[in-house]
Structure 1
Amino acid sequence: MANETSSPASMRSALGRVRGLGSARKGTHHWWMARVTSLALLPLTFWFVFSMIGLAGASYVETVLWIARPFNAVLLLALIAATFHHMASGLQVVAEDYVRPDTTQMLVVLAIKGVSILLALACAVAVIRIVAAA
Protein backbone atom coordinates (compact mmCIF):
# COMPACT_ATOMS: atom_id res chain seq x y z
CA MET A 1 0.00 0.00 0.00
CA ALA A 2 2.84 2.40 0.83
CA ASN A 3 4.45 1.70 -2.54
CA GLU A 4 1.28 2.62 -4.41
CA THR A 5 1.00 6.06 -2.82
CA SER A 6 4.64 6.94 -3.52
CA SER A 7 4.64 5.90 -7.18
CA PRO A 8 4.74 8.60 -9.87
CA ALA A 9 1.32 7.53 -11.16
CA SER A 10 -0.28 8.33 -7.80
CA MET A 11 0.99 11.94 -8.03
CA ARG A 12 -1.23 12.59 -11.05
CA SER A 13 -4.86 13.54 -11.02
CA ALA A 14 -7.45 10.88 -11.85
CA LEU A 15 -7.98 12.37 -15.31
CA GLY A 16 -4.21 12.55 -15.85
CA ARG A 17 -3.86 8.85 -14.98
CA VAL A 18 -6.63 7.94 -17.43
CA ARG A 19 -5.14 10.02 -20.26
CA GLY A 20 -1.57 9.10 -19.32
CA LEU A 21 -0.52 12.76 -19.18
CA GLY A 22 1.42 14.50 -16.47
CA SER A 23 0.43 17.90 -15.14
CA ALA A 24 3.09 19.72 -17.19
CA ARG A 25 3.02 17.85 -20.48
CA LYS A 26 2.41 20.89 -22.73
CA GLY A 27 1.89 23.73 -20.32
CA THR A 28 5.55 24.34 -19.56
CA HIS A 29 6.40 25.00 -23.20
CA HIS A 30 3.51 27.47 -23.57
CA TRP A 31 4.50 29.21 -20.35
CA TRP A 32 8.15 29.61 -21.46
CA MET A 33 7.22 30.75 -24.96
CA ALA A 34 4.84 33.34 -23.53
CA ARG A 35 7.69 34.69 -21.38
CA VAL A 36 10.19 34.66 -24.27
CA THR A 37 7.85 36.43 -26.69
CA SER A 38 6.85 38.92 -23.99
CA LEU A 39 10.50 39.71 -23.40
CA ALA A 40 11.09 40.17 -27.14
CA LEU A 41 7.96 42.30 -27.51
CA LEU A 42 8.94 44.81 -24.81
CA PRO A 43 11.81 46.54 -26.62
CA LEU A 44 10.23 46.00 -30.05
CA THR A 45 6.98 47.66 -28.96
CA PHE A 46 8.80 50.61 -27.39
CA TRP A 47 10.86 51.01 -30.58
CA PHE A 48 7.72 50.84 -32.74
CA VAL A 49 5.69 53.30 -30.63
CA PHE A 50 8.49 55.86 -30.45
CA SER A 51 9.14 55.45 -34.17
CA MET A 52 5.47 56.06 -34.96
CA ILE A 53 5.50 59.15 -32.75
CA GLY A 54 8.54 60.34 -34.70
CA LEU A 55 6.71 59.71 -37.98
CA ALA A 56 3.62 61.65 -36.91
CA GLY A 57 2.83 64.09 -39.67
CA ALA A 58 5.21 62.44 -42.12
CA SER A 59 4.14 61.97 -45.70
CA TYR A 60 3.40 58.60 -47.28
CA VAL A 61 6.72 58.67 -49.12
CA GLU A 62 8.68 59.42 -45.93
CA THR A 63 6.92 56.58 -44.15
CA VAL A 64 7.63 54.13 -46.97
CA LEU A 65 11.29 55.19 -47.01
CA TRP A 66 11.45 54.70 -43.24
CA ILE A 67 10.06 51.16 -43.56
CA ALA A 68 12.47 50.42 -46.43
CA ARG A 69 15.55 51.02 -44.28
CA PRO A 70 17.08 47.58 -43.55
CA PHE A 71 17.28 48.11 -39.78
CA ASN A 72 13.63 49.18 -39.57
CA ALA A 73 12.46 46.40 -41.90
CA VAL A 74 14.20 43.72 -39.84
CA LEU A 75 12.78 45.07 -36.58
CA LEU A 76 9.30 45.27 -38.14
CA LEU A 77 9.54 41.65 -39.27
CA ALA A 78 10.70 40.62 -35.79
CA LEU A 79 7.80 42.57 -34.25
CA ILE A 80 5.33 40.89 -36.61
CA ALA A 81 6.69 37.40 -35.86
CA ALA A 82 6.77 37.89 -32.08
CA THR A 83 3.34 39.55 -31.97
CA PHE A 84 1.51 36.90 -33.94
CA HIS A 85 3.29 34.03 -32.18
CA HIS A 86 2.45 35.53 -28.78
CA MET A 87 -1.16 36.14 -29.83
CA ALA A 88 -1.62 32.61 -31.19
CA SER A 89 -0.07 31.06 -28.10
CA GLY A 90 -2.27 33.07 -25.76
CA LEU A 91 -5.45 32.35 -27.69
CA GLN A 92 -4.54 28.66 -27.83
CA VAL A 93 -4.30 28.55 -24.04
CA VAL A 94 -7.72 30.23 -23.77
CA ALA A 95 -9.21 27.70 -26.21
CA GLU A 96 -7.64 24.78 -24.35
CA ASP A 97 -9.04 26.05 -21.06
CA TYR A 98 -12.58 26.94 -22.14
CA VAL A 99 -13.56 25.10 -25.33
CA ARG A 100 -15.14 21.65 -25.04
CA PRO A 101 -15.49 18.96 -26.43
CA ASP A 102 -11.98 18.03 -27.52
CA THR A 103 -12.82 17.86 -31.24
CA THR A 104 -14.18 21.41 -31.18
CA GLN A 105 -11.16 22.50 -29.17
CA MET A 106 -8.82 21.03 -31.77
CA LEU A 107 -10.67 22.82 -34.59
CA VAL A 108 -10.57 26.14 -32.73
CA VAL A 109 -6.83 25.79 -32.04
CA LEU A 110 -6.19 24.94 -35.70
CA ALA A 111 -8.25 27.96 -36.79
CA ILE A 112 -6.33 30.23 -34.40
CA LYS A 113 -2.98 28.98 -35.70
CA GLY A 114 -4.09 29.17 -39.34
CA VAL A 115 -5.45 32.71 -39.11
CA SER A 116 -2.40 33.85 -37.13
CA ILE A 117 -0.03 32.43 -39.74
CA LEU A 118 -1.99 33.98 -42.61
CA LEU A 119 -2.10 37.41 -40.95
CA ALA A 120 1.60 37.29 -40.04
CA LEU A 121 2.48 36.31 -43.61
CA ALA A 122 0.34 39.12 -45.02
CA CYS A 123 2.12 41.65 -42.78
CA ALA A 124 5.55 40.25 -43.62
CA VAL A 125 4.83 40.28 -47.36
CA ALA A 126 3.73 43.92 -47.10
CA VAL A 127 7.00 44.90 -45.42
CA ILE A 128 9.06 42.89 -47.92
CA ARG A 129 7.24 44.44 -50.88
CA ILE A 130 7.88 47.92 -49.53
CA VAL A 131 11.57 47.11 -49.08
CA ALA A 132 11.80 45.64 -52.58
CA ALA A 133 10.01 48.60 -54.18
CA ALA A 134 12.08 51.27 -52.48
Structure 2
Amino acid sequence: MASPRSSLRSPLGAVRGLGSAKDGTHHWWLQRVSAIALVPLTIWFVASLVVLAGSPYEVFTAWVAQPLVAVLLGLFVGVGFWHLKLGAQVVIEDYIHTESTKIVVQLLVNFATVALAVAALFSILKIAI
Protein backbone atom coordinates (compact mmCIF):
# COMPACT_ATOMS: atom_id res chain seq x y z
CA MET A 1 0.00 0.00 0.00
CA ALA A 2 1.39 3.38 -0.96
CA SER A 3 2.00 5.93 1.73
CA PRO A 4 -0.09 9.15 1.67
CA ARG A 5 2.99 11.11 0.66
CA SER A 6 3.61 9.02 -2.45
CA SER A 7 -0.04 9.15 -3.57
CA LEU A 8 -0.99 11.30 -6.51
CA ARG A 9 -4.30 12.17 -4.85
CA SER A 10 -4.88 15.49 -3.18
CA PRO A 11 -5.55 15.34 0.56
CA LEU A 12 -9.21 16.24 -0.08
CA GLY A 13 -9.47 13.55 -2.77
CA ALA A 14 -7.97 10.98 -0.41
CA VAL A 15 -10.52 11.84 2.30
CA ARG A 16 -13.44 11.76 -0.12
CA GLY A 17 -12.18 8.53 -1.68
CA LEU A 18 -12.71 9.93 -5.15
CA GLY A 19 -10.25 9.44 -7.87
CA SER A 20 -10.17 9.13 -11.58
CA ALA A 21 -13.54 8.06 -13.00
CA LYS A 22 -15.27 7.60 -9.64
CA ASP A 23 -17.47 10.71 -9.63
CA GLY A 24 -16.73 12.52 -12.86
CA THR A 25 -18.11 9.80 -15.10
CA HIS A 26 -21.45 9.76 -13.32
CA HIS A 27 -21.64 13.56 -13.48
CA TRP A 28 -20.70 13.49 -17.17
CA TRP A 29 -23.47 10.98 -17.91
CA LEU A 30 -26.06 12.97 -15.96
CA GLN A 31 -25.18 16.09 -17.92
CA ARG A 32 -25.45 14.24 -21.24
CA VAL A 33 -28.78 12.63 -20.33
CA SER A 34 -30.23 15.98 -19.29
CA ALA A 35 -28.94 17.55 -22.52
CA ILE A 36 -30.58 14.83 -24.60
CA ALA A 37 -33.85 15.28 -22.69
CA LEU A 38 -33.70 19.04 -23.29
CA VAL A 39 -33.46 18.70 -27.08
CA PRO A 40 -37.09 17.65 -27.75
CA LEU A 41 -38.38 19.73 -24.83
CA THR A 42 -36.67 22.86 -26.16
CA ILE A 43 -37.89 22.25 -29.71
CA TRP A 44 -41.44 21.81 -28.38
CA PHE A 45 -41.18 24.91 -26.18
CA VAL A 46 -39.78 27.18 -28.90
CA ALA A 47 -42.29 25.91 -31.48
CA SER A 48 -45.11 26.53 -29.01
CA LEU A 49 -43.92 30.06 -28.34
CA VAL A 50 -43.73 30.77 -32.06
CA VAL A 51 -47.30 29.55 -32.53
CA LEU A 52 -48.50 31.53 -29.50
CA ALA A 53 -46.63 34.72 -30.38
CA GLY A 54 -48.99 37.67 -30.28
CA SER A 55 -51.76 35.71 -28.59
CA PRO A 56 -53.68 37.39 -25.78
CA TYR A 57 -53.00 36.51 -22.14
CA GLU A 58 -56.14 34.36 -21.91
CA VAL A 59 -55.03 32.14 -24.79
CA PHE A 60 -51.61 31.64 -23.23
CA THR A 61 -52.99 30.78 -19.79
CA ALA A 62 -55.53 28.39 -21.35
CA TRP A 63 -52.63 26.71 -23.17
CA VAL A 64 -50.58 26.35 -19.95
CA ALA A 65 -53.65 24.99 -18.12
CA GLN A 66 -53.79 21.94 -20.41
CA PRO A 67 -52.48 18.93 -18.42
CA LEU A 68 -50.00 17.71 -21.04
CA VAL A 69 -48.64 21.22 -21.57
CA ALA A 70 -48.26 21.79 -17.82
CA VAL A 71 -46.38 18.49 -17.44
CA LEU A 72 -44.09 19.25 -20.39
CA LEU A 73 -43.42 22.76 -19.07
CA GLY A 74 -42.63 21.29 -15.65
CA LEU A 75 -40.21 18.81 -17.22
CA PHE A 76 -38.62 21.57 -19.29
CA VAL A 77 -38.10 23.73 -16.19
CA GLY A 78 -36.92 20.87 -13.97
CA VAL A 79 -34.51 19.33 -16.45
CA GLY A 80 -33.33 22.75 -17.60
CA PHE A 81 -32.39 23.93 -14.12
CA TRP A 82 -30.84 20.55 -13.28
CA HIS A 83 -28.71 20.79 -16.44
CA LEU A 84 -27.78 24.39 -15.53
CA LYS A 85 -26.70 23.30 -12.04
CA LEU A 86 -24.58 20.45 -13.41
CA GLY A 87 -22.87 22.71 -15.94
CA ALA A 88 -22.25 25.49 -13.44
CA GLN A 89 -20.76 22.96 -11.02
CA VAL A 90 -18.20 21.89 -13.62
CA VAL A 91 -17.27 25.50 -14.38
CA ILE A 92 -16.90 26.29 -10.67
CA GLU A 93 -14.79 23.20 -10.01
CA ASP A 94 -12.55 23.92 -12.99
CA TYR A 95 -12.01 27.67 -12.63
CA ILE A 96 -12.28 28.53 -8.94
CA HIS A 97 -9.21 27.33 -7.11
CA THR A 98 -9.76 28.56 -3.56
CA GLU A 99 -11.65 25.84 -1.72
CA SER A 100 -13.67 28.17 0.52
CA THR A 101 -14.73 30.34 -2.45
CA LYS A 102 -15.62 27.21 -4.41
CA ILE A 103 -17.89 25.98 -1.61
CA VAL A 104 -19.62 29.36 -1.19
CA VAL A 105 -20.21 29.75 -4.94
CA GLN A 106 -21.51 26.16 -5.20
CA LEU A 107 -23.95 26.83 -2.35
CA LEU A 108 -25.14 30.03 -4.03
CA VAL A 109 -25.61 28.29 -7.39
CA ASN A 110 -27.47 25.39 -5.77
CA PHE A 111 -29.73 27.74 -3.81
CA ALA A 112 -30.42 29.94 -6.85
CA THR A 113 -31.23 27.04 -9.18
CA VAL A 114 -33.56 25.42 -6.65
CA ALA A 115 -35.26 28.74 -5.83
CA LEU A 116 -35.78 29.64 -9.49
CA ALA A 117 -36.98 26.14 -10.40
CA VAL A 118 -39.48 26.14 -7.51
CA ALA A 119 -40.72 29.60 -8.50
CA ALA A 120 -41.17 28.52 -12.13
CA LEU A 121 -42.91 25.26 -11.16
CA PHE A 122 -45.17 27.13 -8.73
CA SER A 123 -46.11 29.57 -11.51
CA ILE A 124 -46.97 26.71 -13.87
CA LEU A 125 -49.07 24.98 -11.21
CA LYS A 126 -50.84 28.20 -10.28
CA ILE A 127 -51.93 28.69 -13.89
CA ALA A 128 -52.69 25.01 -14.48
CA ILE A 129 -54.87 24.48 -11.42
TM-score, with structure 1 as normaliser: 0.85
Give, in whole Å, the separation in 2 of the partners of 1:17 and 1:123. 40
The question of 1:44 aligning with 2:41 is answered: yes
Give, in whole Å, the separation in 1 of the partners of 2:113 and 2:55. 30
| Other-structure match for 1:102 | 99
Q: CA deviation at 1:58?
A: 0.8
Q: CA deviation at 1:17?
A: 5.9
Say which is worse superposed, 17-26 or 71-80, in terms of deviation: 17-26
Q: CA deviation at 1:110?
A: 1.0
Gaps of 5+ in 1: none
Equivalent AA in structure 1 for residue 27 of structure 2? H
Summarize the alignment of residues 91-130 of structure 1 with structure 2, pairs less than 5 Å apart. 91-130=88-127
Summarize the alignment of residues 59-74 of structure 1 with structure 2, pairs less than 5 Å apart. 59-74=56-71
Q: Paired residue for 1:53, among 47, 50, 55? A: 50
| Other-structure match for 1:23 | 20
| Other-structure match for 2:83 | 86
Structure-2 change in CA distance of 1:103 and 1:59 (3 Å): same
Give, in whole Å, the separation in 2 of the partners of 1:39 and 1:121. 22
Give, in whole Å, the separation in 2 of the partners of 1:55 and 1:71. 16
Aligned pair count reads 123
RMSD across aligned C-alpha pairs, in angstroms? Answer: 1.9
Give, in whole Å, the separation in 1 of the partners of 2:96 and 2:113. 18
The question of 1:32 aligning with 2:29 is answered: yes
Q: CA deviation at 1:25?
A: 2.8
